[in-house]
């Protein structure tokens, strides 16, 4: 039996608006360290590269040096605080549920590939009630590799038992685009996620404005000539 095609989603800024909870925990950490809380509007430039980088960026914006030992201590504190409430102020973007239903109805396998730790990823998907929709859920710590290493994406596809030759990555950042490009897989991006520059300037295969456009966009990229993998 042939393997199904697959749509792989990033999580933060792609499937869900998660910045309010991420910034809430970051600000708890900053205030504990004697620094001022940062406004939610800074999330687009801070979120998206993992928790350690988030903390580093938060300290840099605050003009405070951060040594490696302190970073590791604050990382562990962040992880525990965040696990207590990963999504209380977060929400799925409009149209996500309909898009997931439509893709599943057309025979696509679905997966999540995120640099969020897998523990917190599963807690969040459970909160939204969508865990069962995904054939594979891979976080930063699921494999020895994480985005932008293309093996994070290709191993997620393998875990979902899907066809890598009929795969597409849905994301919101340069990390998602670079990962997909290195794997020779097309990328479709949303413009409302966490990126420090307009997503169009990073040249994904397509940009959609709403999840209602996703099924049609996937049809378009699969009709386009395939990319050559940069890792081949």
Lookup: tokens for 159 = 């875990």
Does the annotation mark 10 as catalytic? Answer: yes
Lookup: tokens for 46 = 């801070």
Active-site residue (options: 10, 12, 21, 176): 10
What is the 3-class SS of the chain, one letter each residue? CCCCCEEEECCECCCEECHHHHHHHHHHHHHHCCCCCCCHHHHHHHCCCCHHHHHHHHHHHCCCCCCHHHHHHHHHHHHHHHHHCCCCCCEECCCHHHHHHHHHHCCCEEEEECCCCHHHHHHHHHHHCCHHHCCEEECCCCCCCCCCCHHHHHHHHHHCCCCHHHEEEEECCHHHHHHHHHHCCCEEECCCCCCCCCHHHHCCCEECCCHHHHHHHHHHHHHCCCCCCCCC
Whether the Cβ atoms of residue 189 and residue 177 lie closer than 8 Å to each other: yes
The catalytic site residues sit at: 10
């Amino acid at each position: 039996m042939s393997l199904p095609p697959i749509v792989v989603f990033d999580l933060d800024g792609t499937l869900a608006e998660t910045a309010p909870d991420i910034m809430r925990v970051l600000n708890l950490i900053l205030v504990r360290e004697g620094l001022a809380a940062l406004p939610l509007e800074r999330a687009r430039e801070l979120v998206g590269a993992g928790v350690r980088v988030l903390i580093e960026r938060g300290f840099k914006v605050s003009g405070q040096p951060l040594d490696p030992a302190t970073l590791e201590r604050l990382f562990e504190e962040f992880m525990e605080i965040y696990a207590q409430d990963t999504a209380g102020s977060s929400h799925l973007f409009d149209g996500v549920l309909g898009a997931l239903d439509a893709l599943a109805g057309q025979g696509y396998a679905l997966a999540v590939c995120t640099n969020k730790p897998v523990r917190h990823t599963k807690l969040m998907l459970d909160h939204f009630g969508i865990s069962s929709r995904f054939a594979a859920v891979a976080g930063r710590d699921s494999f020895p590799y994480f985005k932008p290493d293309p093996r994070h994406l290709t191993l997620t596809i393998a875990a979902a038992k899907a066809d890598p030759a009929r795969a597409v990555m849905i994301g919101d950042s340069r990390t998602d685009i670079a990962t997909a490009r290195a794997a020779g897989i097309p990328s479709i991006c949303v413009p409302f996620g966490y990126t420090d520059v307009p997503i169009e300037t990073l040249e994904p295969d397509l940009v959609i404005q709403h999840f209602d456009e996703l099924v049609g966009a996937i049809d378009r990229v699969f009709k386009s000539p395939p990319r050559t993998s940069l890792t081949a």
